[in-house]
Amino acid sequence: MEHFVFHTVCILLFLRPHMGSPIVATYGADFVIIGLMSLGLLIKPTNFDKKLRPLLIANISFLLVLAVISIINAITGDHPIATVVNFGRFFYYSWFFWFLLSIMGRVPDLTSSVIRVLKWTYLVIFFVSVIQLFDLPILSNPVKVLFGSVKLRTLWSGYPRVYGTFYNANWFGVYLVFIALGWVSLLRLKHISLYQFLLRGISVLFLVIISGSRTALLGLTVAGTTLLLLNFGFGQLLWTAFSGSLVIYFLPLISNKYPLLAKTIARFETALMFLRGNDLLNDELTSGRASLWIISTEAVLAKPIFGYGDPGNPLPHNSYLTILLSFGLLGFCAFLFFLLFAFSFVTRLQTSRSDKLNVQNQWVFSFITGLATMSFAAEFIYTTQVMLVLLFLLAWWVSATICDAV
């Protein structure tokens, strides 16, 4: 039963169907996951490890703070239904994490199961992306039915911005950062060979390019830099930066002979400008996000304590502003406090760290650093598929910590 539930959740997480209307396409799989979690509670009560009790209490306390803020906003605000839905989102995240943690604790040889899931789902995602890119006969229609076609926007280079099984190119970009760090980690743990790593690494870079996601490029740069610092210090980082600079310098010279490559590079030039700190509030540089950030900041300052219960429409394209608009400074501070407590608590449980746990620590920390940076340009905190990928990694990390501490 545990194997069935675990693999079903993984399929819905990484190979999520996006069929039907936008609402069903975006949240349909979540309703199935909620059904599985409810069924799991009825069949076999969840037993949490006693070591995790302080984390569970902190999680419940965080939800209670959000609940109080949501009740105030539902009574005094203009969007009571949206306010309840926003609170429900965080309740869902918490429930999913503890549910997945309990399931993982019952799966024999969890690491092998997770690695198999990552390998096979990535293979499917890669081929779905290639089909989206080339609009392959016969295969394209089933892929469009399963994973949608509304988000296949055209790049300046003339080919579509593919998004694999993630409905949106920037959501797909978060997954690509996650899996790129995963291949590095699996190489270090000797679960894949150097040849397999190079093949997968090149394919991930290819997917980043055809996704057209500048947010992914930004996240990959920050996450990769963090991973280098954690492993090798500043010396290796400087050498890598020098090598990267040479590539960036010579690419435009090569691309002059290849118009398609030149247009693709032009798509990512604004991301490089962002990394250099060029006029970060320029609408052209941020694809119109800068104006939304300014408007949203003014709205936050107008109602700073409890927020509005609803981030508004259009969304601010910034996770931090989204939380501030929904729950105010009180909710934002509670969110930060809970995250800091959770990470410090789990790391304190690691009294003796195996090589495997050290690698997982670096994967988690690098990914969160990259995602935190990417969150300045998108409201990933309200994107369930992205958040469930993060929670999947965190549940596996906590499960490994508990097993290592036994």
121-141 pLDDT tens trace: 999 999 999 998 888 878 888
pLDDT band at 246 (very low <50, low <70, confident <90, very high): very low
pTM of the model: 0.88
Model pLDDT for residues 304-324, shown as the tens digit of each residue: 999 998 887 778 889 999 999
Write the secondary structure of 236-297 as one string of H (helix), E (strand) and C (coil). HHHHHHHHHHHHHHHHHHHHCCCHHHHHHHHHHHHHHHHHHCCCCCCCCCCCCHHHHHHHHH
Range with the poorest average pLDDT among 153-167, 343-357, 374-388: 153-167
Domain span including residue 303: 2-405
Domain count, the chain: 1
Average pLDDT score over residue span 216-228 = 87
